[in-house]
């Protein structure tokens, strides 16, 4: 599983989400602060930082990963380190920059040892992700990795069968595309060809909704 250096250990991840008067207390800033104090599951006892999300609050594309890794837990930002650098390169390959999209995870806290999220943890965090989607109002969701895709779509289908076609998010009806996690691609570089096909489809789909 898997930015910029953060100087304020408590507040910097939220500082990028300035309150929008039109959104009031339900805006991303308020939601970020709510997540920071969350104790809905046992992950609150082992986390260093919560990892809310980064990017444009009006992004057309929302990227959803699995859960924070060790570097994300330390810095409070999703997709940093080598996997984050590869994700940035993947976005750049289709003409997007990190700050133009919105990036978050199914879970907002790191599972110990980077283990897979447990069902009760996904449920505990589910409302936060739903509210992020509602506030950002993206046009397309990109699920990064098997666990993100399966939880986002509510299926147990292997990622190899999920990628390569468009799905619909059960709660919102938004289009969902699926690709491999950058951490997996770093371990399995021969799969980058398939990931490029996924990104090409995403670029075409974004053009359709622009």
**Domain coordinates in residue numbering, the chain:** 12-209
On the question of pLDDT at 31 being above 50, the answer is yes
The CATH number, out of the four listed (3.40.640.10, 3.40.50.620, 3.40.470.10, 3.20.20.140), of the domain defined by the range 12-209: 3.40.470.10
On the question of pLDDT at 122 being above 50, the answer is yes
Provide the pLDDT for residue 5.
Answer: 29
Query: Tokens 């810095």 sit at which residue?
Result: 75
Q: Any idea what the Cα angle at residue 198 is, between residues 164 and 179, rounded to 5°? A: 80
DSSP 29-75: HHHHHHHHT--SSGGGGT-SS----EE-TT-SEEEEES---HHHHHH
What tokens does 131 get? 């509210």
Taking Cα atoms as reference points, which of 118, 106, 93 lies closest to residue 176?
106
What tokens does 109 get? 């806290």
DSSP-assigned beta bridge partners for residue 206: none
State mean pLDDT over 125-154: 96
pTM for the whole structure: 0.87
The band of 148, judged by pLDDT with boundaries at 50, 70 and 90, is very high
Q: Please give the Cα distance from 102 to 120 (Å, whole number).
A: 25
State mean pLDDT over 97-109: 97
Q: Any idea what the Cα angle at residue 96 is, between residues 1 and 153, rounded to 5°? A: 45
What tokens does 91 get? 């976005």
The band of 210, judged by pLDDT with boundaries at 50, 70 and 90, is low
Residue pair 43/109 in contact by the 8 Å Cβ criterion: yes
On the question of pLDDT at 4 being above 60, the answer is no
Provide the pLDDT for residue 2.
Answer: 41
On the question of pLDDT at 199 being above 70, the answer is yes
Q: Any idea what the Cα angle at residue 4 is, between residues 20 and 137, rounded to 5°? A: 35
Query: Tokens 């709660």 sit at which residue?
Result: 171
């Amino acid at each position: 599983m898997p930015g910029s250096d953060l100087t304020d250990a408590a507040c910097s991840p939220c500082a990028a989400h300035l309150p929008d008067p039109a959104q009031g207390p339900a805006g991303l800033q308020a939601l970020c602060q709510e997540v920071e104090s969350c104790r809905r599951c046992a992950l609150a006892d082992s986390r260093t930082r919560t990892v809310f999300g980064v990017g444009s609050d009006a992004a057309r594309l929302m990227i959803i990963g699995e859960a924070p890794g060790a570097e994300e837990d330390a810095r409070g930002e999703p997709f940093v380190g080598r996997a984050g650098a590869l994700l940035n390169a993947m976005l750049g390959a289709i003409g997007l920059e990190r700050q133009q999209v919105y990036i978050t995870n199914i879970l907002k806290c790191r599972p110990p040892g980077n283990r897979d999220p447990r069902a009760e943890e996904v449920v505990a965090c589910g409302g936060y992700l739903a509210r992020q989607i509602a506030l950002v109002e993206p046009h397309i969701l990109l699920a990064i990795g098997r666990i993100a895709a399966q939880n986002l779509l509510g299926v147990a289908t292997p990622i190899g069968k999920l990628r390569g076609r468009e799905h619909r998010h059960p709660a919102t009806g938004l289009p969902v595309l699926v690709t491999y996690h950058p951490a997996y691609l770093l371990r399995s570089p021969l799969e980058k060809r398939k990931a490029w096909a996924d990104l090409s489809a995403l670029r075409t789909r974004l053009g359709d909704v622009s």
